[in-house]
Amino acid sequence: MRWYLHKLAMMFGTLPRKATPAEETDRARDMKRFQKTPDEVKKRKAAIQDEHDNPVFSRKWLYRRWASIIIINALFIVSFTWDVQLVEGSLTASRFLGFHMADPNAALQVTLAYKELMLNLLIGTATVIGLWWIVGGRAFCSWVCPYHLIAEWAEALHLWLHRKGWVKDHPFHRGLRVVLWVIFMALAWFTGYTVFEYINPVGIVSRALIYGPTIALMWVAFLLGIEVFFSRRFWCRYVCPIGLTYGITGAVAPVQVKYDLSKCLHEGECRQVCLVPHVLEITKMGYASDTEEFIGPDCTRCGLCIDVCPQDALSFTVRGLDKII
């Protein structure tokens, strides 16, 4: 329980740490001891070298995510442009085949701003929470959010410039996101306006795709400029309260990313590609609490770590069924 609470606390800005002896299972302790034996160290080093000499690249989950984001957002565009009425509204609030759907973060702001709970909003929020509870974590961010896709491309540009030595990453404390979440909710309560939605790039990009571009896209361009030239994935990692809300919603979900300590080489490739690398600190030598455990709730379920791990130490699974997706 303490170890799970630690993973939950990481979502609110707590720094990752090793599992304490009291949190370790006997299986994990034995496996860690086994992996440090001379023969296993030699085998692991040889396997890592072979991996570097003969790299295997998979983009299965990357392309699936990109397709998901494009298709979901295209449904909004097609429905509005040709009056199909399949999906009405935007990602902030919509109706799908007549069923109300509402972003939980936006719904909470509206409730605080108007000081009342509207039935349609409650129904829409419950529907979305139920849907995203199944897939868990911050899956909305990496599988639906249009800004996330653009920011991912911006991140690729940032990394290219970084390799050239032309830019440097300036990380912030992840607790900033929690502070801003509280501030935006307080502003909704005291001003009577959903202040965050005026600067929310997710809503801005969604509405621009559906209804046409506005001057608000200049703000989105400014944010992307920060992410390219100053701080890698600035908005998603350190600011966006939407991700935090979804992380809380999907903290305990059936779909999980499972880590298998016995298969891990601890070379760190997964952490390099991870959108939220603090959730993969357990892949470091000596950090895990058990031979098999689930990645923390701040995970975006992007699958990049699964794509990059040839040993299959990381995989999607349905909790309780132990079924790999």
Average pLDDT over residues 191-212: 93
Q: Does pLDDT of 324 surpass 80?
A: no
Cα gap 166→318, rounded to integer Å: 43
- Inter-residue contact 104 to 128 (CB < 8 Å): yes
Residue 257 bridge partners (DSSP): 316
Cα gap 146→50, rounded to integer Å: 37
Q: What is the phi/psi pair of residue 255, to 5°?
A: -80, 125
SS3 state of residue 232: coil
Instruction: Find the range with the poorest average confidence among 123-132, 166-175, 213-222.
Output: 123-132
Instruction: Find the range with the poorest average confidence among 115-124, 142-151, 284-293.
Output: 115-124
99 residue type, one letter: F
Average pLDDT over residues 147-157: 95
Residue 294 bridge partners (DSSP): 258
Q: Does pLDDT of 158 surpass 90?
A: yes
pLDDT of residue 214: 92
CB atoms within 10 A of CB 187: 17
- Inter-residue contact 105 to 250 (CB < 8 Å): no
What confidence tier does 172 reach under pLDDT thresholds 50, 70, 90? very high
Q: Does pLDDT of 137 surpass 90?
A: no
CA angle 100, 236, 307 (to 5 degrees): 95
Cα gap 316→325, rounded to integer Å: 5
Q: Where are the alpha helices (DSSP H) in the chain?
A: 2-10, 26-35, 38-53, 60-81, 104-114, 119-135, 139-143, 146-163, 175-191, 195-199, 201-211, 217-229, 234, 241-249, 269-273, 304-308
Best-predicted range by mean pLDDT (35-39, 82-86, 199-203, 266-270): 199-203
Q: Which residues contact 24 (CB under 8 A, 6 or more apart)?
A: 289, 290
Cα gap 275→308, rounded to integer Å: 13
What confidence tier does 323 reach under pLDDT thresholds 50, 70, 90? low
**E strands, 228-302, in order:** 255-260, 292-294
pLDDT of residue 322: 61
- Inter-residue contact 205 to 150 (CB < 8 Å): yes
- Inter-residue contact 167 to 231 (CB < 8 Å): no
Instruction: Find the range with the poorest average confidence among 260-264, 301-305, 319-323.
Output: 319-323
Q: Does pLDDT of 252 surpass 90?
A: no
Q: Does pLDDT of 150 surpass 90?
A: yes
Contacts made by residues 266-271, CB under 8 angstroms, sequence distance 24+? 266/44, 267/48, 267/51, 269/51, 269/308, 269/309, 270/304, 270/305, 270/308, 270/309, 270/313, 270/314, 271/305
Stretch (H or E) spanning 20: none
Going by the DSSP 8-state scheme, the letter that residue 85 receives in this structure is -
- Residues 33, 34, 35, 41: is their CA dihedral positive or negative? positive
